[in-house]
Structure 1
Amino acid sequence: MDNRPIIASISLGQVRSFQFRSVDDHRKRYALPLAHGSLLLMKGAIQLNWEHRIAKSTRSMGARINLTFRQINERS
Structure 2
Amino acid sequence: MRDRRLVQVASVLARPRASKLHRASVSETSRRAWSEDRTVLFGIVHVIRNGLRWRNAPAEYGPHKTLHNWFARGSLAKIG
In terms of Rg, which structure is larger? 1
Q: Does the pair score TM above 0.5?
A: no
Give the TM-score of the pair, scaled to structure 1: 0.26
**RCO (CA 8 Å, sep 6+): is it higher in 1 or 2?**
1
Name the structure where strand makes up a greater proportion of residues: 1
Give the TM-score of the pair, scaled to structure 2: 0.26
